Amino acid sequence: MPLIKSISGIRGTLENIPGESLSDYDLKQFTLAYLEEIILYESSKTILVGRDARKSGKRISNIIIDVVLNEGYNVIDLGLVTTPTIGIAVKKHKTAGAIMISASHNDEKWNALKLLNSNGEFLHPEEVQKVIKEKKRTQSNKEKPGNLSSYANALDDHINLILSQNFINKNNIASKSIAVAVDGINSVGGVAIPKFLESLGIKKIKKINCNPDGNFNHNPEPLPENITDLCSEMKRGKYQLGIVVDPDADRLVLVDERGEPFGEEYTLVAAAEYLLSKNHGASTCSNLSSTLALKNITEKYGGKYFSSAVGEINVVKVMKEKKCLIGGEGNGGVIYPMTHYGRDSLIGIGLIISLLVERNISLSELKKELPEYNIFKTKLNYKGEISSIISDVKKLYDESLIDTTDGVKINFSNSWIHIRKSNTEPVIRIISEASSMLEAEKICKEIMSKLRIV
């Protein structure tokens, strides 16, 4: 019955136990806190509300909308929408912010509030702390409630923004007669991805799990072990590309024409390869748990690579400071500032399809051209403090190898290991990378043993 409050939002299971799950009480309290601490200081008195397709979403949306209206604020209800779409809609409608109801890759037992500011970006960590601090909030129930309206064209606005980018060549893409298979996990990506592909001129689209009814046909985190249906379809049919997203479609994962996973780490790398090849000397950024391949290709094109703590807003902060051309996270999250400072599966698709078409290569051929690394990931329940792990690492390794920006990362010559508390689950994550999976797993197990966290 966890309730997790972090920079990734407020998420919890649905037992309706106050303080121990994402209960009705907690939903009201966090919505009031968001209004008091963030929206109160904005000139606009309107916020957007949207949700992914999980079955608890509509009920939660109704609770939130009711609180917001009773506080005298206006609501534009976008209904079923992707997280990047609602972020883009904030700027279009010039609202004070938005609440996106989605627990991302968590299963149906979970839901969450993702809180956005007036730029359509996630709240900064210090703003999150104001919202989640222990303080009882009281409803004011204004005599004049706010107005409720709806808007049905947010996805069209999102798609049109991407199509306006100069790297998109619709005629070139349409001429290739590309066939694509899409797994939308029966959520909003099942609508958004096919519609975007059609806007690019792609007519051959095989839809798998694309009915947005919230019945997740597999674990919604788009890892290789969870996307076997798509891989099987790719092997049976004649497709150039397989696409799978998480329930709110901010993460993009690809499968190649042979039915082999491209690797979620390489989504950002492939998108960056395309942009960097046209913008030599540009900078990039990803979080500390992401592959070294991005650093390698950035430097290949004469640019500078930067890293950040894990969490979209942390990546965005560094991207703004360093004026990065592109950035994101190794979980399939692509951030392209020209459209939006937020992870966006649609922009990732646009960039990677444009690359494949322009170079006239397959996805598997592209993978061979990119630096080869393998990441090993594990997670476990850990009752101790992350500070004690950091202390032990400092006793074992030279300080020049250690980065404590987020948990602790040990950087070796061509490999690394990162240990940190999760923002989205009650676990610690342990991630290692090397040139081979065998070596990455070996590094992970050896250091876990040294640190006594097995």
Chain segment 51-67, per-residue pLDDT in tens: 999 999 999 999 999 99
139 and 226 inside one domain? no
Identify whether 284 is part of a domain: yes
382 and 346 together in one domain: no
Nearest to 87 by CA among 69, 73, 102: 102
User: Given this model, what pLDDT does residue 30 score?
Assistant: 96
- Answer whether residue 166 is part of any domain: no
pLDDT (mean) for 373-388: 86
What is the per-residue pLDDT for 427?
82
Domain boundary pick from 317, 336, 369: 369
Give the domain-ending residue among 203, 235, 255: 255
Sheet holding 179-183, edge to edge: 204-208, 179-183, 241-245, 252-255
**CATH number assigned to the domain comprising residue 413:** 3.30.310.50
Same domain, 147 and 8: yes
Same domain, 57 and 185: no
Give the separation between CA 261 and CA 440, rounded to whole angstroms.
18
> 360 and 433 share a domain?
no
Query: What CATH code is carried by the domain that includes residue 216?
Result: 3.40.120.10
The predicted structure's pLDDT at residue 454 = 62
- Model confidence at 341, in pLDDT bands (50, 70, 90)? very high
- Residues 37 and 131 occupy one common structural domain: yes
pLDDT for 65-96, tens place per residue?
Answer: 999 999 999 999 999 999 999 999 999 999 99
Residue 138 has pLDDT above 80, yes or no: yes
Residues 43 and 111 reside in one and the same domain: yes
The candidate with the shortest Cα–Cα distance to 95, out of 85, 103, 108, 86, is 86
The helix/strand/coil state of 309 is coil
Question: Alpha-carbon distance 301 to 280, whole Å?
Answer: 5
Q: Is pLDDT at 422 greater than 90 in this prediction?
A: no
Give the tens place of pLDDT for each residue, 149-194.
999 999 999 999 999 999 998 989 999 999 999 999 999 999 999 9
Asked if residue 167 belongs to a domain, the reply is no
The lowest-confidence range among 220-224, 231-235, 317-321, 420-424 is 420-424
Domain check: are 241 and 307 in the same one? Answer: no
pLDDT in tens, 391-418: 999 999 999 999 999 999 999 999 999 9
Do 22 and 139 lie in one domain? The reply is yes
- Tens of pLDDT, residue by residue over 29-50, are 999 999 999 999 999 999 999 9
Do 365 and 378 lie in one domain? The reply is no
CA dist 50 and 16 (Å) reads 21
- The pTM of the whole model exceeds 0.75: yes
| Whether residue 139 sits in one domain with residue 67 | yes
Among 140-144, 205-209, 294-298, the minimum mean pLDDT is found in 140-144
Instruction: Say if residues 173 and 201 touch (Cβ distance below 8 Å).
Output: yes
The pLDDT of residue 381 is 83
The confidence score (pLDDT) of residue 1 equals 65
Answer for the pair 378, 443: CB distance below 8 angstroms, yes or no: no
Look at residue 158 and tell me if it is in a domain.
Answer: no
Predicted pLDDT of residue 8:
78
Domain-located, residue 304: yes
Domain boundary among 120, 153, 186: 153
Kindly indicate the confidence band of residue 445, based on its pLDDT and cuts at 50, 70 and 90.
Answer: very high
How high is the pLDDT of residue 386? 87
Structural domain including 214 reads 177-255
Tell me whether residue 286 is in a domain. yes
Q: What confidence score (pLDDT) does residue 142 get?
A: 80
As for how many domains the chain has, the answer is 4
Q: If you average pLDDT over residues 329-333, what whole number do you get? A: 94
